[in-house]
Amino acid sequence: MSGVTPDQRPTREGEIATERVRAICIDLPLVIERRSHGEASWFIDDKKNFVAMSDHHHDDRVSVTFAAVSACRSH
């Protein structure tokens, strides 16, 4: 792994991944993009974050976190 310093972000891999995720998310209804914790994030109705990028591991990894629907429901 190569070390990535904060001034080297976003990495090329991060830019490519963010553009791909952005294209998918922005086509969904009620979705807006804004920065959260310094990274691109997407929100439903400007309230609930459902996707967040992470290109700040100080190495060559880029991650995307997706919210999941809980299978547990109270009756």
Q: Give residue 66's pLDDT.
A: 92
Residues 6+ apart with CB under 8 A from 64: 17, 21, 51, 52, 53, 54
pLDDT tens, position by position, 28-69 = 999 999 998 888 999 999 899 999 998 766 566 788 999 987
The residue ranking higher by pLDDT, 74 or 26, is: 26
Average pLDDT over residues 18-31: 94
Q: Give residue 9's pLDDT.
A: 63
Provide the CB-side half-sphere exposure for 45 (13 A, CA): 2
Distance CA 61, CA 11 (A): 9
- Which residue's structure tokens are 């439903």? 44
Q: Give residue 57's pLDDT.
A: 60
